[in-house]
Amino acid sequence: MENDYRNIGKIVSSFGLKGEMILQHHLGKKISPEKIKVIFLEQKKDELLPFFLDHARIKSDQELFVKLEGIDSKEAASKFLRHEVWMKQEDLNLHALKNNPIAWVGYHLLDEGRDLGEVLEVIEQPHQVLCRLEIQTREVLIPVNEETLEKIDHPGKRLLLNLPEGLLEVYLG
């Protein structure tokens, strides 16, 4: 599942009486919500169901109002609160800017020229981004911020970093 779909956020609230919901997302500021046709909601762990959008509009830089087909009341919308929202990778590529961290999934992280591996997930936090990798069968979270990021090579799909001394040893022993 994780190879074909990317988590873009979650439903945080219902809005109004006609089934609209508020989707808190990681797609960035410059998106065209009217072009989003389908999203996937996580019903159970690792079980995604497709939902077609009746319409979507911007609420803020990180939130959209979304109305799903067939969801026509506040009660029906409230059943989706706190559900994770996913999008197919190819659709995500159409909506996320290449400088948006969510688009870094699949990029390789390099620390001073050493390939640490492929970004499996991006976790956005207020002052930094964490990239989840697997190194030597262990999960590793690498901070990407102004201090660690040297360059983004979009054509080569690489993030060139300068990590703090000892960071990898914390994970790898």
**Could you give the CA distance from residue 161 to residue 173 in angstroms, rounded to a whole number?**
21
- CATH code at 45? 2.40.30.60
Q: What is the arithmetic mean of pLDDT over 13-25?
A: 94
| Nearest Cα residue to 41 out of 90, 94, 4, 5 | 5
What is residue 110's predicted lDDT score, i.e. its pLDDT? Answer: 94
- CATH code at 110? 2.30.30
Query: In this model, does residue 60 exceed pLDDT 70?
Result: yes
Instruction: State which amino acid sits at residue 155.
Output: P
Q: Phi and psi for 16 in degrees, rounded to 5?
A: 75, -170
State which of 73, 96, 119 marks the end of a domain: 96
Structure tokens at 7: 């988590």
State which of 96, 111, 139 marks the end of a domain: 96
- State pLDDT tens for residues 128-171: 889 999 999 999 999 998 889 999 998 999 999 999 999 888 88
What is residue 1's predicted lDDT score, i.e. its pLDDT? Answer: 44
State which of 63, 96, 129 marks the end of a domain: 96
Between these two residues, 93 and 13, which has the higher pLDDT value?
13
Number of independent structural domains in the chain: 2
Distances (CA, A) of 116 to 48, 64, 107, 146, 172: 30, 35, 11, 19, 12
**Could you give the CA distance from residue 142 to residue 128 in angstroms, rounded to a whole number?**
10
Between these two residues, 28 and 147, which has the higher pLDDT value?
147
Domain region containing 168 = 102-172
Please report which confidence band the pLDDT of residue 81 belongs to, taking 50, 70 and 90 as the band edges: very high
